[in-house]
Amino acid sequence: MIKKFLYSQKVAPYVFVLPFVLVFLMFWVYPLANSVGMSFQKVTLGQEPAWIGFDNYGKLMGDGVFLKAVINSAVYMVLTLVILIPFPMLFAVLINTKFMWGREFFKSSFFFPALTSVVVAGTIFRLMFGEMEGSLINSFLGWFGVDPVKFLKGQATGMIALVALATWRWTGVNMLYFLSGLKSIPEEYYEAASIDGASRFQRFTKITMPLLKPTTIYVLTISIYAGLAMFIESMMLWNGNNSPKNIGLTIVGYLYRQGIEKNNLGYAAAVGIVLLVITMAINLTQLAFTGMFKKEEEA
């Protein structure tokens, strides 16, 4: 009876989907619902939670440090989008050409930084962007007569260091996404365009870019999330969660400061919910703007 039930064509799909549903409920829906509830409470370890309504959210709206964290995360996200979408796409197109030699070597070289621990990478970049005259970047600037720069003590220069770290780590990953998308484009399209006299630039803009749209939107979506959720890179670059004048503080870093360092779990939960809302709003807007929610027209 049980075997007949499991092998039923109506029941089988639900059996296969059940593990995913259970994991989704246990590790996403339940924590999210619990966080929403905590955001309306004053929760500290060792004390009974107290219901305070929208006080946490009201406090957030007037919290200058939180606003600073939001601005830092937003600027970081925008800068990484500007760099980590067009350049990996161009590198992928270059590596995918027939005349490219050492293709596998370049693919491995670009992807290798992603395998490096963010702790190790952050430590290396902290030393590279150190304020001493002997640090790597300042040594390079010294060749051009530029005085040593205190990169990690300035708003703009600190952001440059953060974006440089992100560029080094994730260019290869995004490039592989675009390479995967390029493999799905039939070669006949390019051959037909060449016969019609289309230049390389025209083939890139009229064939490659439109057919890479799904891949581009996917990379854009995950990059928006990664930009707003960045934390460990900042923590390692400044060797802690307390950068000078909060120039490296991110939304997740502020959440960590309130929840872990200050034991203010209810307030931290409110920060997390606001981050979720911001991320969802931006991603849903860009998905709607790029037409991903539109139904395909019937032939």
Give a three-class secondary structure readout of 67-103: HHHHHHHHHHHHHHHHHHCHHHHHHHHHHHCCCCCCH
- Mean of the pLDDT values across residues 100-125? 89
**Cα gap 276→282, rounded to integer Å:** 10
For the stretch 121-167, pLDDT in tens is 999 999 999 988 889 999 999 898 888 899 999 999 999 999 999 99
* pLDDT at residue 103 tops 90: no
Per-residue pLDDT at 46: 80
* pLDDT at residue 218 tops 90: yes
* pLDDT at residue 255 tops 50: yes
Cβ burial of 232 (10 Å; 0-12, 13-18, 19+) is middle
Q: Which residue has the tokens 């260091």?
A: 161
pLDDT: which is higher, 106 or 4: 106
Gyration radius of the chain over CA positions: 24
Q: Specify which residues 79 forms β-bridges with.
A: none
Instruction: Enumerate residues 6+ apart whose C-beta is below 8 A from 147.
Output: 141
| Domains along the chain with CATH numbers | 60-290 (1.10.3720.10)
Per-residue pLDDT at 297: 44
**Cα gap 75→284, rounded to integer Å:** 19
Q: Specify which residues 50 forms β-bridges with.
A: 42
**Cα gap 259→236, rounded to integer Å:** 19
* pLDDT at residue 221 tops 50: yes
pLDDT-derived band of residue 3, with 50, 70 and 90 as boundaries? low
Per-residue pLDDT at 96: 87
Please check whether residue 149 is in contact with residue 157, taking contact to mean a CB–CB distance below 8 angstroms: yes
Q: What percent of the chain has pLDDT over 70?
A: 95
Per-residue pLDDT at 298: 42
pLDDT: which is higher, 99 or 87: 87
* pLDDT at residue 299 tops 50: no
* pLDDT at residue 227 tops 60: yes
pLDDT averaged over the chain? 90
**DSSP assigned state of 50:** E
Per-residue pLDDT at 5: 62
Q: Which residue has the tokens 């395998």?
A: 115
